[in-house]
Structure 1
């Protein structure tokens, strides 16, 4: 049972995962690397399961994911209790997974609505909206902006709104590559992809042509602002959030004004009675309400 687990060993597991090495965890915990190793081995012996894969970077087994969720929940509840009792004014860290386009547009202004009196430090992990839920499942974050409405086990899910994307290109790119009807010319034109998890452009092409297509020239630019810059520079076409396209004016043209692509976004968080987490959730929901559809 969780109550039978030595808390120093559980906290050590959390430190190793967060710091990504035994040496760094030892520095944070003010013990020797040998002590860290011994605690992890003792915890694995106590549970009868391998918890960590000693790889680079360190990764968790399925059993390790269960324990790390417990450890992170315990740490947050402890921080909340200490804060409410007025016993400590130290900074608390809240880990959140968020997709790059939200991070580049509406998410950071939302966090500015969190009162400074909470002394929260945000540890933001950038991940595709279709994959942020996996970080929740693995216990690496406590909350996430995700495309998945189905709550991860032990989490709640709240709809935030829809981020609208439009197929955009520069006027010069259109003049060079898109001189024939869009269903014919667009699949053959260079395209900008965020990374290899990004399927928005392919989804748009499928909706346009009603068949699977393969664009021969695919540029991968894994930074939201640079992605928009690349499209504006004529390197290729791409799906850009309305929130980023609007300020560009005539530098970007909408290839299919009647075919926007909407991505529903949800806020998932662990089921914790945590005032700090609830305050952040409210701030995120308020920011999304102003920015998203």
Structure 2
């Protein structure tokens, strides 16, 4: 088993994170030459090129596992230091989709705020697993059921989405019901270019997903606001729409229609107290909030 040098691994990770050797040197309080020498020594040890020398610099396929290793070792070091010296607050980087963040995840993590510094990365549930693969985050709420290499996975539950609009929007565009013809011309609110929730329901109804006008609103709370303001119809999770439905501000386009999105918890296989605490709070909240 290789005897890894933590300074060399940190130099590689800093360069990968910050994009240049100069920036990595400033972060590590060393010279750019020292960063370059550490990375070259690591490349000699592994017999592989670990960093693409371009702008910005990026890890190669061979370098990505070592960048991830550096981040994991830093997490373990911070955890041990905290127990020994009771000093730094440990950091846990977590990827989460916007709807979970807005509805149930933040309240779940609030009790940890004084002892764990949570770094939240908002990413679509279909793409968050990529952040685990490259080591950018230690855990993720994701739609990926297959464990990323070096991670464990468990089911959290299901977020159920339904198509909603304002009563006025429904009366204007869907007086005859949410038919394929009406859905082809009625404006729709979409989170971003990768959001497929509305497309999935349109396809089920026999409508061309590319036909209707689209409003892109890439923030979960603002997405719901756009639907409330009548920009278009959109798929909203039960957790986010219940109050508006009860107050009559939103109505379902089809009372029986829904799209279920299974969510999973993936985290590094390494164990730190901070990561374990975050995982337990997420599990508990998911059991209460999800189907």
Residues 81 and 88 in structure 2, CA contact (< 8 A), matched pair in contact too: no
Who is 2:216 aligned against? Answer: 220
Residues 184 and 208 in structure 2, CA contact (< 8 A), matched pair in contact too: no
Q: Distance in 1 between matches of 2:7 and 2:218?
A: 39
Deviations 1:253-288 (A, max 9, x none): 111120121111111001012222111100111111
1:240 and 2:236 are equivalent in the alignment = yes
Please point out which of 184, 208, 220 is paired with 2:205. 208
1:288 and 2:286 are equivalent in the alignment = yes
Give the TM-score of the pair, scaled to structure 1.
0.91
Please point out which of 137, 144, 162 is paired with 1:141. 137
Who is 1:96 aligned against? Answer: 94
Who is 1:40 aligned against? Answer: 39
Who is 1:151 aligned against? Answer: 147
1:260 and 2:258 are equivalent in the alignment = yes
Q: Distance in 1 between matches of 2:279 and 2:190?
A: 30
Count of aligned residue pairs for this structure pair: 288
Give the TM-score of the pair, scaled to structure 2.
0.91
Most deviating of 20-29 and 135-144: 20-29
1:170 and 2:166 are equivalent in the alignment = yes
Most deviating of 247-256 and 229-238: 247-256
Who is 2:29 aligned against? Answer: 30
User: Structure 2 vs 1, CA of residues 50 and 189 (structure 1 numbering), >3 Å: closer, same or farther?
Assistant: farther
Superposition RMSD on alpha carbons, in Å?
A: 2.0
- List structure 1 segments (4+ residues) > 4 angstroms apart after TM superposition: 54-58
User: Structure 2 vs 1, CA of residues 80 and 245 (structure 1 numbering), >3 Å: closer, same or farther?
Assistant: same
Structure 1: segments with no counterpart, 5+ residues = none
Residues 189 and 215 in structure 1, CA contact (< 8 A), matched pair in contact too: no
Q: Distance in 2 between matches of 1:88 and 1:24?
A: 30
Residues 191 and 215 in structure 1, CA contact (< 8 A), matched pair in contact too: no
Deviations 1:186-228 (A, max 9, x none): 132111111111100011112222x754233111111111111
User: Structure 2 vs 1, CA of residues 228 and 92 (structure 1 numbering), >3 Å: closer, same or farther?
Assistant: same
